[in-house]
Structure 1
Amino acid sequence: MSLPASTSSRDFIFAACALLIAMVGTTLPTPLYALYQQRLGFDASWLTIIFSIYAAGVIAALLAVGSWSDQLGRKPLLLAGLAMGAISAVIFLFSDSIGGLLIGRLFSGFSAGIMTGTATVAVIELAPKTWKNATLVATAANMFGLGIGPLLAGFTSQFLPDALHLVFYVHLVMLVLATVGIALIRETVQRPHTLKLGIQKPSVPASVRSVFISASIAGLAGFSVAGLFTSMVPSVMIHIMHEQGGLLIGAVIGLFFVASIIGQALLQVLPKDRHMTLGCVGLIVGMICLGLSIATSQLGLLIAAGLVAGVGQGMILRAGMGAVTASSPTDQKAGVTSAFFVVLYVSISVPVVAVGFSVRVFGLEHVGEFFASLVAVVALLAMISMKRVQSKQAALSAPGS
C-alpha cells in the first residue's frame, strides 16, 4: 500500500530538517572560541583538545551505535541524536569552565555521530519515489547545517546580548521542533525478532569494498580540507588578518559549507566519470589559495579558498556517499554509511590535532602554509588513485573481459 504523496513528502522534509538542525549545533561554538579564550584564559592548544574531543565523540557514537538503526529503527536513533544535541546545548548554557566546554563538545560529537549515518539513510529512504536527488538533499542538509552554525553564532555574539548563551537557547528551540517532526514521521525499518546490538567493528561487505575504498580515499582529502579550514580560519583571521568580528568569521567559515552544497548540486550537470576528478582539482586550487592568503594576509584569497575548496569537497562528498549507499545491502545501509563517516571524521580530526600542536613550535603562519600544501598533495594523490580505480573498473566491465 503506497502512502499519499503529501505524507511521503512531509516525512522526507522533516527528516532532512532534523539532520540540518542537529548539525547546526556542532559548529555553533566555532566563532565563540575567541570569547571563551578571553573569559577562561586558555591558550590555542586547548582549542585542539576541544575539537579532538568532539571528533572522538563522533567516532565513538558511529562505532557504538552506527548500525543500531538497522535493527531498532531509524526513529529511536534520530530522537537519541537530537537528545544528545540538547544535552550539549544545556551544558554550554550552564557551564563556565574549560571542563564544561570539553563535555559539551563531547555530547555534540555524540549527536553528530548518531545523526550523520542514521539521518542520511533515513532521508534517502523517506524520499518520495519521484524524487531523484535524495542523496543530494541528505548531504546538503548536513553541510548547510554546518554552515549555518558559525553564521548564527557569529551574528548573535556580535549584535545581540548574552553573546555566549543566547545562541544555545535558540538551538534548543530548534531541537524541540525537530523532535516533534521526527515523532511524526513513519518508520522505514522492520525490527527483527532477535536484536543483535553491540559495538560495531568498522567492516564493509565484500560486494561494497572496492567502491567504499575509492570513495574513502577521496573523502580523506575532502574532510582533511574541512578540518583544516574550520579549525584554522578563526585564528588566521584574528591573529594574521586582524579581523575580530564574530559575524565575519562565521560567514567565512559558513561560506565553505555553502560552497559544498553548490559543489554537490553541480554534479547534476557534470559527467559522472569526472565528479571525483573535478572535486580533487577544487581541493587543490582551494589549498593553494589558502596558503597564499596566509602568506599575504589577504582576506579575499581566504574567501576564495573557502569557496573553491568547498565546491570540491561537496563534489567528493556527494559522489562518494551516493556510491556507497547505492551499493550497500538494504539491511546494512546504516552500518556501511556509519563506517564511511568514521573514515571522514578521522580525516577531519587528524589535521586539527597536528596543526594545534605544531603551531606552538613553528608559529601559525608557517604551519598553515605547510598543512595547506600537504592537503593539496593528498588531494592530488587521491585524484590519481581514483583514476586508476576507474580504469580498472572500465577494463573489468568491457566486453570480453
Structure 2
Amino acid sequence: MSRTAVVATSFAFLVAMIGTTVPTALYPIYADELGFSSLTVTILFAVYACGVFGALLLFGRLSDQIGRRLVLVASLVFAVLSAIMFLIPASLATLIVGRVLSGVSAGLMTGAGTAAIVDLFPSDRRARAGILAVAVNSGGLAIGNLGGGVLADISRSPLVVPFAAHLVLAVIALVGMRLFGEAPGPRGGFVFRVQRLRVPAQIRGAFVRGSLAAGAGFASGGVLTAVTGIFLADDLALTDHALAGFVVFLVFAFVASGQLLARWIPRRWAMPSACAGMVVAAGFLAWALAGPLLAPLIVAAIGVGTSCGICMNVGLATTVEEVPVAERGGVSSAFFIVIYVMLAFPAIGVGLLAGPLGLRDAGLVFAGVVALLAAAVGVADYTSSRRAGGVRV
C-alpha cells in the first residue's frame, strides 16, 4: 500500500466533495442579490442532482474499464470548471451551469473515489478503507458547508472568496493526483452508453438494505439542507451564514463519528439501531420546525449524521468491500445513485411544497416520510438478521 497514493486520492476526493456544498450557505446572499425564491433554490439543487445522476449512469463503471486515476482527474477538472463558473458575475444561468458541473464532478468522484481508496488497501485492512472513503466523502460535504459560510462572513467578497479558495484546492488536488495517484485495476476501452450498474446476486439483499438505510440518512440531510438557511433567517431571525453552514456541517461531520461508532456495535444491531436513531432525529427536526427552535435542530443534525455514518459503514462493508476489483466501481456507483436520489428527493420536494404549505410545514411532511422509511428499513434488516441466525444475507 502506497501511503502517498492514499493521501493524494483521499485529498482529491475531499476537495471534489467540498466544491459540491460551498454554495449551500451562500444561497441567502444569492436570494437577496438575484431575487431568488425557495423554488429557485430547489431548481439549483435539482440540476446538481441531474449532474450527479448523469455522471453515475453514463460513467459509473468507467473506472473499472480505464482505471481509477483517469476518472478522478476528470472529476477534478469538472470541479475546477465549476469553481470558475461561480467566479463569473452571478446570474441564474451561470449558477445552473456551475451546479451541473459540480454534480458531474461529484458523480465521477463518489463511485470511482470510493473504489480507488478500497483498492489501495490490502484485503485485511479493507474495513479501514471503507471508513476512510466515507470520512473524506462526508468530510468534504461538511467542510464545504461550513467553510463557505465562514469565508462569506469574514470576507468583503462573500460570493468570490469561497470559490476562489476551492479553485486553488482543486488545482492542488489535480496536480497531486497526476503526480502521486495510483490506478490499480483493469484498463481497457470505453463504450459510451448508459450503463447497467449490475449488483451481484450474492450481495443484492445487503445492497438494498444498506443503500436504503444510508439513503434515509442522506434524505434527512437533504431536508435539513433545504430548510436550514431560510428557516434560521426567516423564523429565528438568525442571518449568520456561518451558522447555517454549521448546522449542515454537523450532519456530515457526525457521519464520520458514526463510522467510528459502528466498529463497537455488533453487526446484527448496527443498522436497526441506526435506523431507530434516524426516527428519533426526525422527531427532533419536527420539534425544531414546529417550535420554531434552534436547539432541537442541532440535535437533529447530530442524530442524523451519526445514524447515517453507521449505516454507511455497514452498507459499504457488506457491498463494495465484498466484490472483486473489476466490479467495485460499478457497485460503488450503484450504491451512491440510490443515496443521491434519496438526498435529492426531499430537498426538491420541500422546495415544491414550500409554496402551497410554507417551508416549515413542507419540512414536517418530509421529516415524517423519512422517519417512516428509516423505520421500515430497520425492521427489514433486523428480520433478515434473525432469519439468518444473526448473519446478513
SS of 1:186's partner is coil
Q: Any gaps of 5 or more consecutive residues in structure 1?
A: none
Report the more deviating stretch, 83-92 or 125-134.
125-134
Aligned: 1:217 with 2:212: yes
Aligned: 1:307 with 2:306: no
Aligned: 1:188 with 2:188: no
**One-letter amino acid matched to 2:387:** K
1:361 to 1:179, Cα distance in 2 relative to 1, 3 A: same
Q: Any gaps of 5 or more consecutive residues in structure 2?
A: none
Conserved 8 A contact 2:60-2:197: no
Which residue, 238, 241, 253 being the options, matches 1:243? Answer: 238
1:389 CA drift (Å): 2.1
Which residue, 12, 16, 22 being the options, matches 2:6? Answer: 12
Aligned: 1:85 with 2:88: no
1:370 CA drift (Å): 2.1
Report the more deviating stretch, 183-192 or 158-167.
183-192
**One-letter amino acid matched to 2:68:** R
Cα distance in 2 for residues equivalent to 1:345 and 1:139: 14
Conserved 8 A contact 1:263-1:315: yes
Cα distance in 2 for residues equivalent to 1:121 and 1:306: 28
1:179 CA drift (Å): 1.0
Deviation readout 1:271-303 (Å, 9 max, x if unpaired): 111110121122111111111011112111111
1:196 CA drift (Å): 4.5
Hey, what does 1:141 align to over in structure 2? Answer: 136
**One-letter amino acid matched to 1:353:** I
Conserved 8 A contact 1:282-1:313: no
**One-letter amino acid matched to 1:39:** E
Conserved 8 A contact 2:203-2:318: no
Conserved 8 A contact 2:130-2:321: no
Cα distance in 1 for residues equivalent to 2:323 and 2:116: 14
Conserved 8 A contact 2:227-2:360: no
1:367 to 1:276, Cα distance in 2 relative to 1, 3 A: same
Conserved 8 A contact 2:384-2:392: no
Which residue, 93, 96, 104 being the options, matches 1:102? Answer: 96
**One-letter amino acid matched to 1:151:** L
Hey, what does 2:20 align to over in structure 1? Answer: 26
Aligned: 1:199 with 2:213: no
Cα distance in 1 for residues equivalent to 2:171 and 2:59: 22
1:397 CA drift (Å): 8.9
Report the more deviating stretch, 258-267 or 389-398.
389-398
Cα distance in 2 for residues equivalent to 1:395 and 1:375: 26
1:211 to 1:89, Cα distance in 2 relative to 1, 3 A: same
Deviation readout 1:41-89 (Å, 9 max, x if unpaired): 1211011110011011101000101101111000100000000111110
Cα distance in 2 for residues equivalent to 1:208 and 1:308: 28
Report the more deviating stretch, 238-247 or 364-373.
364-373
Which residue, 332, 355, 360 being the options, matches 2:350? Answer: 355
Aligned: 1:292 with 2:283: no
1:185 CA drift (Å): 2.0
Cα distance in 1 for residues equivalent to 2:243 and 2:283: 22
Cα distance in 2 for residues equivalent to 1:315 and 1:137: 13
**One-letter amino acid matched to 1:271:** P
**One-letter amino acid matched to 2:44:** I
**One-letter amino acid matched to 1:96:** A
Cα distance in 1 for residues equivalent to 2:37 and 2:329: 39
Cα distance in 1 for residues equivalent to 2:61 and 2:322: 16
1:216 CA drift (Å): 2.3
**TM-score, normalisation: structure 1:** 0.94
Hey, what does 1:273 align to over in structure 2? Answer: 268
How much is the aligned-residue C-alpha RMSD, in angstroms? 1.7
1:222 CA drift (Å): 1.6
Which residue, 109, 116, 122 being the options, matches 2:110? Answer: 116
Aligned residues: 391
**TM-score, normalisation: structure 2:** 0.96
SS of 2:183's partner is coil
SS of 2:158's partner is coil
**One-letter amino acid matched to 2:326:** D
Which residue, 28, 31, 34 being the options, matches 1:37? Answer: 31
Following superposition of structure 1 onto structure 2, how do residues 158-173 of structure 1 map, counting pairs within 5 Å? 158-173=153-168
1:125 to 1:326, Cα distance in 2 relative to 1, 3 A: same
Conserved 8 A contact 1:218-1:386: no
Hey, what does 1:67 align to over in structure 2? Answer: 61
Cα distance in 1 for residues equivalent to 2:226 and 2:84: 23
1:43 to 1:134, Cα distance in 2 relative to 1, 3 A: same
1:366 CA drift (Å): 1.5
Hey, what does 2:367 align to over in structure 1? Answer: 372
